[in-house]
């Protein structure tokens, strides 16, 4: 599958996911208490670390099959991958269940129940992404989003439930349903019945290859969640709810970033042309500046619909600003590291960024004791990460005028977002950004514009 078509499939899935996430993202905070919303966000924070529990085995599979075709993978290898993952995750699930029962902690209980379905589903997600089956990957996203949304809305509007445990339980149930659907689908595709096999050699080989990438990914998760831990530990429940809401809004922008991040690895494995990678980097600068402008519609909704979370507005703008940088870091540089098997470089860089993030968060949280100061620390940490990547991979380095365009755009975005109302800020921002990009990056802008135009026209012609 081509890069454009892969991005298209994942993009469509993400648009569907965006609509559903928008509905959930605004409806739940509107009707649930701040305490219940904070508890749901605590579960989501815990479950973001589930990927650590496979020790890099699934990342090893991702690297092993990158750039290959799914049909080339032997059925036996998939059965072994399933079996290795199942047995390993069961090893963690049982102790976690006992701990939750001893502590009588429902969040840990639901976390323990999520371990198996999430990591077993990741077996297939990684294989689909690595082999370019983005259509299959997008279907997983759609099914997960739709089922979760329907279940949540039934609890909220049919039964008027306020207890957060029920909403978390729905999420866990959906994880199991999606995994079962995946198993049935893959077994049907391979024309082979379900079986569990364990191979120590296979486990050790893939874990050895993937452990550094897993640590890098885990470090990336720490990097993107360390701010919430500081808010949770050092500030109030209300502060955590406001900050988590801001993160939830920030995650909506990943609907557009994910297609690029998830398809680039397969593309970079097959294409080593540095000039093309540089061109993609330039496009990411433009796309990033356009995408972060979606913070203004979010601000409009807060102004008109969700006033009790209005004080989260400054946090939202600082967190959205990080996404313009993440698009380049994760979409280009991290995928280049992976495709070149340079996971150790990626991991070392992340360690520096994480230590810097911990230091910045500690200092600013101690000095100002506000969740906004932690959002500022997060943006500064991501800026450091960007410059480390920019300096280390010189052959695909963005030009100085492109870097200037990126950071000037971010400054304009923050100034307008923090000082003007949503409608006026939105208008002035996009006029400013179009002028800035057209002045500094005209060729890349026109190339990107015509690429999208031709792609859309070709799709219309196929209908």
* Per-residue model confidence as pLDDT tens digits over 305-360: 888 888 899 999 999 999 999 999 988 888 888 778 777 787 788 888 888 888 99
Is the pLDDT at 113 greater than 60? The verdict is yes
C-alpha atoms less than 13 angstroms from C-alpha of 138 in its C-beta half-sphere: 23
The DSSP code sequence of 139-177 is HHHHHHHHHHHHHHHIIIIIS----HHHHHHHHHHHHHH
- Note the pLDDT of residue 347: 77
- Note the pLDDT of residue 349: 85
97 against 145, higher pLDDT: 97
Name the helix (H) or strand (E) containing 210: helix 200-234
> How sure is the predictor about 167, in pLDDT bands with cuts at 50, 70 and 90?
very high
- Note the pLDDT of residue 43: 93
The DSSP code sequence of 221-264 is HHHHHHHHHHHHHHS-HHHHHHHHHHHHHHHHTHHHHHHHHHHH
In the chain, where the domains are located = 1-198, 215-463
> How sure is the predictor about 396, in pLDDT bands with cuts at 50, 70 and 90?
confident
pLDDT digits (tens, 9 = 90+) for 252-297: 777 667 666 767 776 777 777 788 888 888 989 999 999 999 999 9
pLDDT digits (tens, 9 = 90+) for 83-96: 899 999 999 999 99
14 against 58, higher pLDDT: 58
Three-class secondary structure of residue 1 per DSSP: coil
> How sure is the predictor about 220, in pLDDT bands with cuts at 50, 70 and 90?
low
Find where tokens 């994910």 sit: 258
- Note the pLDDT of residue 40: 92
189 against 444, higher pLDDT: 444
Q: What percent of the chain has pLDDT over 90?
A: 33
- Note the pLDDT of residue 3: 52
| Cα 22 from Cα 19, distance rounded (Å) | 5
Cα Rg, the chain, nearest whole Å = 22
Is the pLDDT at 371 greater than 60? The verdict is yes
Is the pLDDT at 10 greater than 60? The verdict is no
Mean model confidence pLDDT for the chain: 84
Is the pLDDT at 201 greater than 70? The verdict is yes
**Vertex 89, ends 334 and 138: CA angle to 5°?**
50
| Cα 152 from Cα 133, distance rounded (Å) | 29
| Cα 206 from Cα 223, distance rounded (Å) | 25
């Amino acid at each position: 599958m081509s890069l454009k078509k892969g991005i298209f499939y994942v993009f469509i899935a993400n648009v569907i996911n965006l609509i559903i996430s928008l509905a959930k993202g605004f409806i739940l905070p509107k009707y649930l208490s701040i305490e219940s919303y904070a508890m749901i966000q605590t579960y989501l924070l815990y479950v973001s670390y589930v990927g650590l529990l496979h020790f890099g085995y699934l990342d090893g599979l991702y690297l092993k099959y990158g750039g290959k075709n799914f049909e080339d993978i032997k059925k036996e290898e998939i059965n072994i991958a399933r079996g290795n993952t199942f047995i390993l995750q069961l090893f963690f699930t049982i102790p976690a269940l006992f701990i939750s029962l001893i502590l009588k902690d429902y969040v840990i209980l639901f976390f323990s129940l999520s371990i198996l379905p999430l990591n077993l589903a990741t077996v297939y997600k990684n294989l689909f992404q690595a082999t370019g089956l983005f259509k299959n990957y997008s279907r997983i996203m759609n099914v997960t989003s739709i089922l979760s949304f329907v279940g949540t809305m039934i609890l909220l509007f049919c039964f008027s439930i306020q207890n957060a445990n029920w909403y978390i339980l729905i999420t866990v149930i959906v994880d199991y349903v999606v995994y079962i659907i995946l198993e049935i689908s893959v077994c049907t595709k391979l024309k082979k019945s379900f079986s569990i096999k364990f191979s120590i050699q296979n486990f050790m080989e893939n874990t050895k290859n993937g452990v550094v990438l897993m640590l890098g990914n885990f470090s990336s998760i720490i990097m993107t969640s360390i701010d919430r831990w500081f808010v949770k530990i050092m500030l109030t429940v209300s502060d955590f709810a406001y900050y988590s809401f801001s993160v939830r809004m920030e995650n909506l922008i990943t609907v557009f970033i994910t297609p690029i991040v998830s398809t680039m690895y397969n593309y970079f494995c097959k294409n080593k042309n540095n000039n093309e990678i540089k061109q993609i980097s330039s496009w990411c600068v433009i796309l990033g500046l356009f995408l972060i402008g979606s913070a203004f519609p979010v601000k409009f909704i807060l102004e008109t619909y969700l006033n009790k979370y209005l004080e989260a507005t400054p946090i939202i703008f600082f967190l959205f600003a990080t996404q313009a940088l993440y698009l380049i870091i994760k979409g280009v540089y991290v995928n280049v590291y992976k495709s070149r098997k340079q996971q150790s470089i990626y991991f070392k860089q992340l360690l520096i960024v994480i230590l810097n993030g911990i230091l910045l968060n500690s200092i600013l949280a101690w000095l100002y004791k506000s969740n906004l100061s932690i959002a500022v620390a997060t943006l500064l940490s991501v800026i450091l990460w960007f410059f480390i990547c920019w300096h280390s991979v010189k052959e695909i380095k963005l030009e100085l005028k492109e870097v200037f365009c990126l950071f000037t755009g971010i400054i304009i975005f923050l100034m307008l977002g923090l000082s003007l109302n949503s409608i006026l800020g939105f208008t002035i921002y996009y006029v400013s950004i179009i002028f800035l990009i057209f002045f500094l990056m005209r060729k890349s802008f026109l190339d990107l514009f015509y690429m999208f135009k031709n792609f859309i026209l070709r799709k219309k012609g196929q209908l």
